[in-house]
Amino acid sequence: MAQRKENIVMFPLMAQGHIIPFLALALHLENTNRYTITFVNTPSNLKKLKSSLPQNSSIHLREIPFDGIAHDLPPCTENSDSLPFHLFPNFFESTLSFKPHFRKLINGLIDEQNGHKPVCIIADMFFAWSAEIAQEYGIFNALFVGGGSFGFACFYSLWLNLPHRDSDEFLLPDFPEASRIHVTQMTKFLRLADGSDSLSVFFQKVLPQWMNADGILFNTVEELDKIVGPLLLSTGSRAGAGKEYGISTESCKNWLDTKPCNSVIYVSFGSQNTIAASQMMQLAMALEACGKNFIWVVKPPLGFDLNSEFRANEWLPEGFEERIKDSGQGLVVQKWAPQVEILSHKSISAFLSHCGWNSVLEALSHGVPIIGWPLAAEQFYNSKLLEEVIGVCVEVARGMNCEVSKENLSAKFELVMNETEKGMDLRKKASEVEMIIKNAVRNEEKFKGSSVKAMEQFLDAALMMKKAQKEED
């Protein structure tokens, strides 16, 4: 008789930057052939996700109800990707409504399995209330942070030590290892937060609840985030899960194949970030002026619906697309691009990125140095870690409202991509980090990488808790 596989329940926030690493982790766990996976989310997110699963996947998708209108969100809102920034407080607050539905879902799963409980609940970092439900049923509970530990340690400390208005630069009282934080490394929400606004209230309620979890998983590598400690790297290349590409992988590869090694800069600011129209104009002029080949994934600028049509004639210099197409210098891609396939190509020399952690790992996993332009959330502190500690990044701008110039941007592109001392050092260190990441996920008979060991330790802890409870019963 085949041994029953233990079930793991996974529930990410309804945002692409959270769903992607959760899906990668789910596929990794499924591939161990020791667990069944129940993946929980709202109906429209699961519908998109279903098309991204391998045909032979046995991951179970379970819907949980969500009514955005009840929380003053636009009709049919089930994902943050196209949400205006001013509605993010409403979005975060709305997730608290999942609690009773999630309790009912867990109870139903246990009934379906004749009283057999899941071995573990892995919930999003913003669903810390899940620990209470897990404890009610005696289930091991972990929070999964899709980013790195350094960035979110800064994020955690900043929101729990409000306000930040006394000086332009300061140390974090409970994380001095981060060195000084500058006011430009905080979002507008954080700079204005005083503990009484809705976003402050949400974070100051949720973040301390992290301590109630049985464990916290980070999507990183111990050797990179050594300031904080042993962590988890989730792997997988399904970074475009549920996304519609603006260019086919084949067309993209064919274009890259015509370019010399280390000659192309890739530009993308992630799934739900964009820059101001004035910044976009300067960036376009800089890319053209520096003479480097490039692929640029464009979205409408700040203040416009990210899912609306991109108006090149309005937001880019006159004749820009025609000139770079005729010269073969660049590709302008709307919506989404096959990012992993691009970053893994030998022609890619650098990545102008918002420093979202998924993008950071995808770049460094292929030895690509980063030109940082952090825009939101913990991205500022990821950029800080990459530049000041690891040495694989040059920060070129900060935020959606900072002034940028064609001349400064162009100079930074040339610094990183040319055979300058700085450029060569960045590429050397990025190659070293590539090997660190590969070794961290190696799983061979005589060698287990740090991330493999961390994952095994985590799963062993969940199994031990279940075994101990059975013995008590």
342 shares a domain with 262: yes
* Neighbour-count burial for 26-49, b at 16+ CB within 10 Å, e otherwise: bbbbbeeeebbbbbbbbebbbebb
Q: Given this model, what pLDDT does residue 244 score?
A: 61
Amino acid identity at 146: G
Residues 394 and 431 in one domain: yes
Better pLDDT: 466 or 424 = 424
Q: Are residues 229 and 311 in the same domain?
A: no
One domain, residues 33 and 117: yes
The whole-number pLDDT of residue 32 equals 86
* Stretch 400-427: mean pLDDT: 92
Pair 315, 276: CB distance under 8 Å? no
Predicted confidence (pLDDT) at residue 445 exceeds the cutoff of 90: no
User: How does residue 227 score in pLDDT terms, banded at 50, 70 and 90?
Assistant: very low
Q: Do 281 and 365 fall into the same domain? A: yes
pLDDT beyond 70 at 79: yes
Same domain, 165 and 30: yes
Query: With bands split at pLDDT 50, 70 and 90, how would you rate the model's confidence at 471?
Result: low
Q: Give residue 67's domain range.
A: 6-238+445-472
pLDDT of residue 238: 44
In a domain, 244, yes or no: no
Residue 280 lies in a domain: yes
Q: Are 161 and 174 in contact (CB under 8 A)?
A: yes
- Asked if the model's pLDDT at residue 240 lies above 80, the reply is no
pLDDT confidence tier of residue 234, bands split at 50, 70 and 90:
very low
Domain for residue 104, yes or no?
yes
How far CA 238 is from CA of 48, 227, 417, in Å, comes to 13, 29, 28
Single pTM value for the model: 0.83
pLDDT (0 to 100) of residue 1: 44
Note whether 400 and 462 are same-domain residues: no
* 119 occurs within a structural domain: yes
Q: What is the pLDDT of residue 239?
A: 44
What pLDDT does 2 receive?
56
Q: How far apart are CA 4 and CA 36, in angstroms?
A: 9
For residues 409 and 451, membership in a common domain is answered with no
Q: Identify the pLDDT of residue 189.
A: 87
246: pLDDT strictly greater than 80: no
What CATH number is given to the structural domain containing 10?
A: 3.40.50.2000
Q: Is residue 209 part of a domain?
A: yes
Question: Does position 235 have pLDDT exceeding 50, yes or no?
Answer: no
As for how many domains the chain has, the answer is 2
Residues 403 and 459 in one domain: no
- Our CA angle for 337, 342, 345, nearest 5°, is 165
The answer to whether the beta carbons of residues 28 and 55 sit under 8 Å apart is no
Q: Token pair of 389, please?
A: 């500690």
* Residue 324 shares a structural domain with residue 198: no
Using pLDDT thresholds of 50, 70 and 90, give the confidence band for residue 316.
very high
Length of the chain: 473
Higher per-residue confidence, 469 vs 344? 344
CA separation for the pair 443, 439 (Å, rounded) = 9
Of all residues in the chain, the percent with pLDDT exceeding 90 is 63
Determine the pLDDT at residue 106. 97
* Run of H or E including 55: none
A 10 A CB-CB count for 322 gives 10
Q: What is the pLDDT of residue 221?
A: 86
- What value does the mean pLDDT take over residues 40-53? 92
C-alpha–C-alpha distance, residues 237 and 436, integer Å: 18
* Residue 1 belongs to some domain of the structure: no
> Does pLDDT of 422 surpass 50?
yes
Angstrom distances, CA of residue 42 to CA of 87, 307, 407 = 19, 20, 46
* 441 confidence band (pLDDT: 50, 70, 90): confident
Judgement on whether residues 138 and 277 belong to the same structural domain of the protein: no
pLDDT score recorded for residue 405:
93
Q: Tell me: the pLDDT tens digits for 362-375?
A: 999 999 999 999 99
pLDDT in tens, 118-159: 999 999 999 999 999 999 999 999 999 988 889 999 999 999
Residues 130-141: tens digit of each pLDDT: 999 999 999 999
Q: Determine which of 221-225, 383-387, 404-408, 423-427 has the lowest per-residue pLDDT on average.
A: 221-225
Q: Do 23 and 171 sit in the same domain of this protein? A: yes
CB atoms closer than 10 angstroms to residue 303: 11
Q: Does residue 352 fall inside a structural domain?
A: yes
Longest distance between any two alpha carbons in the chain, whole Å: 74
Torsion sign over Cα 17, 149, 388, 438:
negative
Q: What is the spatial distance between Cα 414 and Cα 424, in angstroms, rounded to a whole number?
A: 12
243 found inside a domain:
no
Put residue 132 in one of left, alpha, beta given phi > 0 → left and psi -120 to 50 → alpha: alpha
Tell me, what's the pLDDT at 127? 97
CA 455 to chain centre: 19
Instruction: Give 238: exposed, middle or buried? Use CB within 10 Å, 0-12, 13-18, 19+.
Output: middle
- Predicted confidence band at 309 (pLDDT cuts at 50, 70, 90)? confident
